[in-house]
Structure 1
Amino acid sequence: MRRKILPYLWPYRYPFLFALAQVFLMSGCELLKPWPLKIVIDSVLGDSPSPWNLHELFSKQALLVAACAGLIVIYLVLGGITLLNNYTTIKIGQRMVNDLRRDLYSHLQRLSLAFHSRRQVGDLMYRVTADTYAIQSLTMNGVFPIATALALLIGMFAVMLKIDWQLTVLALSVCPVLFLSISLLSKRISLAATVARQQESEVYSVVQRGMSAMRIIQAFTKEEEEHRKFMAASNQSLDASLRLYTLQTFYSGIINVVMALGTAFVVWVGAQHVLSGSLTVGEIVIFTAYLASLYAPINTISQTWGLIQGAKVGVQRVFEILDVERDLAEGNLVFPASGARGDVWWENVSFQYVPDQPVLKNVSLHVPAGRKVAIVGPTGVGKSTLLSLLPRFYDPLEGRVTLDGTDIRDFQLKSLRTQIAMVLQPPLVFPITVRENIAYGRPEATLEEVVEAAKLARIHDSIARLPQGYDTLVGEQGATLSEGERQRITIARAILRDAPVLILDEPTSSVDAETEALIMEGLNRLTANRTTFIIAHRLSTVRNADLIIVLRSGEIVEQGTFEELVHGNGPFALLYRSQFSLEE
C-alpha cells in the first residue's frame, strides 16, 4: 500500500515537509501552554522561584501581566500555525485525490468492454467519486494527526519525566492496554468498513440503473417496485454503516475509560506527592495539564488508527481497479497520415463472452478496400460481435483480424480507432449542444462541415427548427429529441469523422420508411470509396451492398450479392420472404 501511495505524495513532497515543520511548531506551542499558569500559581500567588529567575527582574504584578500576555501570544501563534497547517494538508490531500481520480478514470476508459460488461456502473462510480477520497484520509488525516501526536508525546514525556518520573511511568502504564485494544478492534473495524463501502456502492448502482431506465420504469408502472429495491439497498447500507459506527464508538469508549482510569491514578498519587512536599501545587497543575495533553495525543493515535483502517479499505478498492491489467495490449504501429486503405480480413476467428459458449466459430471473411458489406441474420448470432473485433472492443479468442494486411493488435489503439467511424446501437447523444454532438469525433470541424454532415444524414431541417439551432443543448440521454433524430445525429457524427472504414449497426432502425430512403441516399454518397459494414434487420437497407454475409449460430452460412441470395433457396431468401410477407 505504501509503495502505491508514495507516487501520489511525491509531487507534493516540499509542501508535505513544510506541513511537518508546522507540526513541530504546533507541538512546541502545546508544550508551552501550561507554563504561564505555573508562573502565576507558584511565583505570583506563591513564593516559589520562577523559570529563568524572572521574579528577580519583575514585580509580581509585572510577572502576572507577562504570564497572561505570554499565554495570549502562545494561543495566537498556535492558532495561526494550526490554520496554516490545515490549509496546507487539505490542499495536498485534495490534489492527491484529484490525481488518483485522474488515473482511475483514465484507466477505466482504457479497459475493454469485456471488463465493463462484468462490473456494475454504480460501483465504479462510487470508486471514482467516493473511494478516491480515502487517500486523503489515509495520508493527510492519518499521517499528520499521528505525527503531531508523536511529537507532543515525546516532548511531554521528556518534561513530565523531569518533573516526576514516578508519575510519568504511572501515566504511561495505560499505553499497553490502549494498544492492545487497538490491535483487537482494528481488524473488525476494517472488515465493517469494507462491507459498508460495498453496500453504499450498491446504492449507487441501484440509483444509476433506475435513473437510466426511467422511461421504461414509468411506462410499465414499476415505480413502487424500483422504490422497494432502492430502500432495500439503502437499508442494507444503513445497517452496515451503523455496525461500523457502533464499532468505532465502542472503540472510542474503551479508549476513554482506560484514559480516565489512568488520570484518576495519576491525580491520586500526585496529590500524595504534593502533601508530602515533593511537588508544588504549580507543578502538579502543569503535570495534570500535561497528563490531559498526554492522553489527548494517545487518544488521537488510537482514533486515527481506526480512521486509517476504514480509509485503507477505500484506497484498496481504488487500487483493485488500477491493478487490473489491460486485456487489450497496446501495439506500436501507427497508420500513415493518409489513413488506411480499408482491406479487412477475419482469419479463422473464434470468440466467446462466457467459457464454453462460443459466439463466433472459426469465421473467415475477406473484404477488399472500398467494398460495402452487409451482415444479416437473426438476433444473437454474432453480427455486432464480429464487427466489434475490428476496432478492438474485444480481441478474438482464436485467429486474428487484419487491416491492410497487418494484425490490428500491432497498431496503437488510438491510431486504429481513428480509422473507423461507427454508428452503434442504441443511438447515444450527450447532454451538450447539437453541434458538439455531431463534432464529437472531430471537435475541430467547422460549422460548415457539421452542417454538411447533418444534411447528408437528413437531420439538418430538424436541427434548424430547434430554438438555438446547432447551439441547442440536448437533454440527458437525448430526452429532448426523438429516437429517429438521435439516430440521425449519430449518423452525422460518423459522416463527419470521415474515416476510411465505416461500421453501421442498424443505421435506420428507428426511422420511418420515408426517412430511411433519404438517409440511405446520403449514406450511399458517404460510403463511396470506403470500406463499409452494415448490420441490418431491415433487408431493404442491404439491397445495394456489394456482398451480403448471412450469419447463423456464429458461423457464415451464406454469402453473395442481393440478387444472388434473394433468388436462391438459402437462409437469406427465407428471411427476406418472411420479412416481406410481414411488411405486406
Structure 2
Amino acid sequence: MSGGHIPFSHKVRSVINAKPSKGSIWTMLRQMFNRVPSKWKFSSLILCIMLFISLLEFSIPQLTQYTIDKIIPEKKYDSLIWVGTGILGAAILLALLNYFNSYIVSKVGQKAIMDLRNSMYEHIQRLDMKFFDKNRTGDLMSRLTNDVNLLQQLISSSMLQVVTDTVTFVAVAVYMLFINWKLTIVLLFTFPFMFYITRVFGKRIRMSFRSVQSSAGDISNQLQDSISGMRLIQSFTNEEFESIRFAERNHENMVANIKSVRLRSMFGPVIDLLNNIGLVAVIVFGAWQVMEGAFTVGLIVAFLAYLRLLQSPVRNFSRVISIVQQSAAAFERITEIMETQPEISDKGNAIELPSIKKQIEFQSVDFAYDESVPVLSNLNLTMKAGQITALVGSSGAGKSTITNLLIRFYDPQQGTIKMDGLDIRDVSLKSIRSQMGIVSQDIILFNGSIRDNIVYGKLDATDDEITESAKAANAHDFIKAFPNGYDSQIGERGVKLSGGQKQRIAIARALLKNPQIIILDEATAALDTESEHLIQEALSRLLVNRTSIVIAHRLSTVQNADQIIVLEKGSVHEKGTHEQLLTSNGRYRQLHDLQFPQLKAAIT
C-alpha cells in the first residue's frame, strides 16, 4: 500500500505473536493506539491539553481555599471580584479545552476505526473458501459492524477518559499527599477495595459481553438466512416456524443482556458506596482536626474539592469499565478473524502464469471437503487448450469440485494440478483467476444496475464493449426493453429479473472479461429451449481458441464437446466424444437413454 501504510493484520501479527489472552486490555489499547494517524504528534498535543486542564482544575480549589481562609476573615471585598473572575475564567477555559480535546480525539478515533474496518474487510477477502465454509455470514457481518462499532466507542471517548482520569488521579493524589499526608491517607483508604472490586467485576463483565456479542451474531445469522430465503419460507407457509426460531435467538440475546446489565448495575452502586465512605471519613476526620485547630476550614473545603477530583475518575472508570470490557470482548472476536491465515495463498516465489497454450492436467488428485467423505479419488484427466471439455455424471460425482480446485478455491490433499506443465500452487492466484471466466447455475448478481453487473467482468470497459458482450449473450434486446435500459436497477440478487435474464447477464459479464478459460457450471440450466439455443450458438463462435469446461446434467448441451468426461465416485469412468461414448454402451449411454428414451430404439 502507498504511503508506508501497514495493514492492521500485519500489525496484529507483529505485535502479538500468539492469540491475546482474555485479560489483555492493555494489548487492545496498544493496538488501537497504533491505529491512530500521526500518533506521537497527536499524543503530544493531547498530553499538553490534559496538563493544562489539570492545572485549571487544581486552581479552582486553591482559589476556593484562599477565599475561605483569607478573603472572608480579612474582609477583602476587592479581591472577591478577582477571585470570581479567576474561577469563571478557569471554568470557561476548562469547557473549551474539554470540547477541543473530545472533538480531536473523536475525529482521530473515527479515522482509526475506518482504517481498522477497511483492513478487516481486506483481510476477510483474502481468506480462502474453507474459512467461509466454517463461518456463518451473519456472524462475520456482526464482527465487521457491531464489534468494530464497540471499538469505536472505546477509541472515540473512553480511551481519552481513561488516560485523562489516570493523569488526574495520580496528579491530585501526589499533590494532596504533599499538602497533608494524614488527610490524604484517610481519603485513600477505600481505593484498594475499589481496585479489587473493579478487577473482579471486570472479568465477569467481559465474559457477559462476550455472550451478548455471540448471541447478537446468532441473530444476524438468523436474519441473513430468513430474509434471503423469504420466498422459500412463504412458499412453504413456515412464517410461524421461523418466527419461533427467531424468538428463541432473541430470547437468548435478552438473557445475555440482562446478565450483563445486572453486573453493571451492581458495579456502579458498589463504587459509589465506597466513594461515600471516603467522603464520610474526610468530613469526620477533617472536622475533628478543624475543631482541634490543626486544619483550617478552607483546607477541608479544598480537600473535599480534591476528593471530587479523585472520585470522579473512579466513578467514570466504573462507567468506562463496561465499555472497555465490552470492547475487549469485541477485540477478541476481531483478532480471531485478523489472525486467521488463508490456507490458499501465494508462495513467496510465486510466478505469473502465462496464457494457456497446451493443456490442463489433474494427476492422481485426491480431495475431500470433509476428510470423512472423499469427493475425488486418484483423479487423472487432461483437458486440451482451445477445446471444449464437458464433465458429466451423477450428482456428487465431483464435477463442480474439479473447477473449484482449478480456480484454487481449495487445494487437493494429494496429487497435483498443472497448467502447461506448471503446478498451479507455484503460480500466483491472481494470474490463475484472471484467465478464467465463470458462469454457474447459482448466479450471483449485485444490487445495482444491469450495467454495474456486466462491467464487473472488466471494470474499465467502454459502453461499446458492454453492449457487444450483452449482444453476444443474447441479452441486449431484453435489456433495451427496460425503461432505463442498461441503467435499470435489478434489486438484491437480481430479484427483478427472470432466471434466464440473470443467466444471460452473467454470461455477458464472463464474456466481457475475455478469459482464456471459461467455466460453465450448468450455465444454461435456467434458460428456455430457444434462449439456450441462441446462447449455445453465440458460445460456439466466441469460444474458438479458448479452453472451455462445461458441467451439465442435460446431455443436449454437451453433444458438440471435443471431449466428454464421465465421472463416477470422484474418478474418471469413461471419456470420449458424444458418438464414441454412445457406441461404447457405458455409463454415458445409460444417462443418454434416461434423458432421451425416444432415441433409444433408433440408436439400437
**When the two structures are superposed, what TM-score results if normalisation uses the length of structure 1?**
0.94
Work out whether 1:21 is the aligned partner of 2:68: no
Alpha-carbon distance in structure 2 between the residues aligned to 1:28 and 1:300: 20
Return the match for 1:71 from 83, 87, 91: 87
Runs of 5+ in structure 2 lacking a partner? Answer: 1-19, 21-26
Report if the CA contact (8 A) 2:356-2:420 is conserved: yes
Aligned to 1:90: 106
Write out per-residue CA displacement over residues 164-197 of structure 1, whole angstroms, 9 at most, x where no aligned residue: 3211100000111111112222211121111111
The reply to whether residue 497 of structure 1 matches residue 497 of structure 2 is: no
Displacement of 1:11 in angstroms is 4.5
Structure 1 contact 381–553 (Cα < 8 Å) conserved? yes
Residue in structure 2 matched with residue 476 of structure 1 by the alignment: 492
Question: Once the 2 structures are TM-superposed, how far is the Cα of residue 82 of structure 1 from its aligned partner?
Answer: 0.7
Structure 1: give runs of 5+ residues left out of the alignment: 48-58
Residue in structure 2 matched with residue 304 of structure 1 by the alignment: 320
Q: Residue type matched to 2:251 in 1? A: N
**Corresponding letter in the other structure for 1:85:** N
Q: For residue 190 of structure 1, what is the aligned residue in structure 2?
A: 206
| Structure 2 residue 596 is the aligned partner of structure 1 residue 580 | yes
* Letter of the structure 1 residue corresponding to residue 63 of structure 2: P
User: How far 1:79 sits from its partner (Å)?
Assistant: 0.8
Relative distance call for 1:583 and 1:88 in structure 2 (3 A) is farther
User: In terms of mean alpha carbon deviation, does 269-278 or 31-40 score higher?
Assistant: 31-40
1:78-127 deviations in Å (ceiling 9; x for gaps): 11111111111112222221111112111111111111011100000011
Cα 1:110–1:402 shift into 2, 3 Å: same
Is contact 1:16–1:89 with CA below 8 Å preserved after alignment?
A: no
Is the CA contact (8 Å cut-off) linking 2:440 and 2:522 kept in structure 1? yes
Q: Which digits, 9 at most, give the CA deviation of each residue in 1:482-535, with x for residues without a partner? A: 111011100111111101111000111001111110110011112111000000
Q: Is the 8 A contact 2:520 2:551 kept in 1?
A: yes
CA positional deviation for 1:13: 3.1
Inter-partner Cα distance in structure 1 for 2:114 and 2:387: 47
> How many residues align structurally?
572
Structure-1 separation of matches of 2:73 and 2:440? 88
Query: Are the counterparts in 2 of residues 12 and 92 from structure 1 also a CA contact under 8 Å?
Result: no
Whether 2:414 is the aligned partner of 1:395: answer: no
Tell me whether 1:320 sits opposite 2:336 in the alignment: yes
1:8 match: 35
**Cα offsets for 1:363-390 (capped at 9, x unmatched):** 1111121010000111121110111111
**1:134-173 map, 5 Å:** 134-173=150-189
Q: Deviations over 1:311-362 (max 9, x none)?
A: 11101110101111110121444547x7333621111111001112100001
Change (3 A) 1:341 1:22: farther
CA contact (8 A) 1:348 1:400 kept: yes
| CA shift for structure 1 position 309 | 2.1
Q: Is the 8 A contact 2:165 2:313 kept in 1?
A: yes
Q: Which residue of 2 aligns with 1:54?
A: none
Whether contact under 8 Å (1:342, 1:531) holds in the other structure is: no
Separation (CA, whole Å) in 2 of partners of 1:343 and 1:415: 16
Deviates more, 1:118-127 or 1:90-99: 90-99
Residue 35 of structure 2 aligns to a residue in which SS? helix
Taking structure 2 as the reference length, what is the TM-score of the superposition?
0.91
> Shift of the alpha carbon at 1:5?
4.4
1:280 match: 296
CA–CA distance in structure 2, aligned partners of residues 107 and 155 of structure 1: 43
Q: 1:563 aligns with which of 579, 586, 590?
A: 579
Distance 1:290 1:209, change over 3 A: same
CA contact (8 A) 1:31 1:152 kept: no
User: Would you say the 8 A contact 2:593–2:599 is kept in 1?
Assistant: no
**Residue aligning to 1:234:** 250
Q: Which amino acid aligns with 2:53?
A: M
Residue matched to 2:238: 222
Deviations 1:28-72 (A, max 9, x none): 22222223333333333223xxxxxxxxxxx82321111111111
Instruction: State whether residues 350 and 427 of structure 2, in contact with CA within 8 Å, keep that contact through their aligned partners in structure 1.
Output: yes
- Paired residue for 1:55? none
1:30 aligned to 2:46? no
Q: Does the CA contact (< 8 Å) of 1:342 and 1:500 recur in 2?
A: no
Q: State the Cα distance separating 1:303 from its structure 2 match.
A: 3.8
- Give yes or no for contact 1:342–1:501 (8 Å, CA) kept in 2: no
- DSSP 3-state at the match of 1:33: helix
**Which position in structure 1 is the counterpart of 2:381?**
365
Amino acid at match of 2:341: E
Residue 478 (structure 1) shift: 0.4
SS at match of 2:368: strand
Tell me if structure 2 keeps the 8 A contact 1:334–1:416: no
Partner residue of 1:100 out of 111, 116, 119: 116
Asked whether the equivalents of residues 93 and 135 of structure 1 are also in contact (C-alpha less than 8 Å), the reply is no
Query: Which moved further from structure 2: 352-361 or 292-301?
Result: 292-301
CA RMSD of aligned residues (A): 1.9
Instruction: Report deviation, 1:256.
Output: 0.8
Q: Secondary structure at the residue paired with 2:523?
A: coil
Q: Is the 8 A contact 1:199 1:237 kept in 2?
A: yes
Distance 1:395 1:263 in 2: 68
